[in-house]
Amino acid sequence: MKRIFIAFSFFIILSPSLMAKELIKFGYLADPSHEAVMWALKNGKVTSDIIEVKADALQIPALIQATVSKTYDVIQTAGMAIPRARSKGLDLRIVGTALRYHTGGEGSDIWVKSDSVLQSAADLKGKKLAVYSLGSSGITLIRIALANAHGFNVDLESGDIEFVEMPPPAMPAALESGTIDAATLIHSQAYQAQNTKSFRSIVSTAPDNYKSFGVRGVSAVLAGYGEKLDKNPEIHKEFLRLLHQSVEYAKSNPDEVFKAVANENDTDEKFLQRWFAEYSDFPVLMSNDDMKAIQMLWDESVKLGMLKSAPNVRDTIWTETIVVD
């Protein structure tokens, strides 16, 4: 009887469900679309026996700061941030794919007023184009499309287009007033524009890049830090599995997830439907095409003067990350 009791006690102590879980801190972009990605994880629809996730939604400036300060174990960051961080000695490694454009990529269009005389990309020459961040991957991909698919000189100082950096909330009013001629509206604004017909798209840059390079653009990645990844690889792999399950739950249960997120974030449920269907994927797990897309972004950024040099993307990817074709 004594031996049975000891064995049973040993089982209780080692049972995964009773062991203390490892905490993974995750910082991601504050956006209703990402709340849909995170909803199942945050609401206990997908769970893990070995990790607990503390996830914080952050605005872009806070994401940038958190990336440098290593506040989180895993951070959603711009693809452009990886070579920049590594060139400064920060062992930032790609562990997954955050934002992969759809081939139609409606979230990366260039918009004008509905009554604007501008009708196509060619009409942008000599005009003012508002962008939310010149250093971002998203705007860099737009410049790559304008250069390769439309033949523009996209130099920031002596190019064919005058790029005007401004906060996204200011763009619609600036378009209306004529302060700018065109704008790269963020996803929620693009959705509003499609519904209200107050603005119209004259360039779709995601399809342009897809035709030029044969891969869907990747603007954001999931990244971790070398010392943390090497110390506890199984914990980080479990995080990727859990986050991927959360995304898949949203795709499989859109009525439940999109309705809840729309109510919690004062947004339109149809925006979430369109975002998943037409704007971006949040795949988590990397593909070989994602690697090609990131390499393209870096190589083209060197041509644009955004990076001094481009590393081999495979040298920046965590060796234990999950790659799917």
Q: What is the pLDDT of residues 30-87, one digit of tens each?
A: 999 999 999 999 999 999 999 999 999 998 889 989 999 999 999 999 999 999 999 9
Q: Confidence class of residue 151 from pLDDT cuts 50, 70 and 90?
A: very high
Among residues 29, 53, 43, which one has the least CA distance to residue 257?
43
Q: Which residue has the tokens 């996803």?
A: 187
Among residues 169, 172, 98, 171, which one has the least CA distance to residue 138?
98
Q: What is the pLDDT of residues 116-149, one digit of tens each?
A: 999 999 999 999 999 999 989 999 999 999 999 9
Sheet containing strand 199-204, edge to edge, reads 162-165, 128-131, 182-183, 109-113, 199-204
CA distances from 286 to 108, 283, 293, 302, 304 (A): 21, 7, 11, 23, 26
> Do 193 and 276 fall into the same domain?
no
Tokens of 132: 């939310």
CA distance 316 to 291: 10
CA distance 240 to 225: 15
Q: Is the pTM here over 0.85, yes or no? A: yes
Q: According to the model, what pLDDT value does residue 7 have?
A: 45
Q: Where are the alpha helices (DSSP H) in 114-156?
A: 137-148
Q: What is the number of structural domains in the chain?
A: 2
> Do 263 and 243 fall into the same domain?
yes
Structural domain including 151 reads 106-213
Identify the residue with better confidence: 95 or 191.
95
Last residue within a domain, chosen from 181, 213, 245: 213
Last residue within a domain, chosen from 164, 186, 213: 213
> Do 198 and 282 fall into the same domain?
no
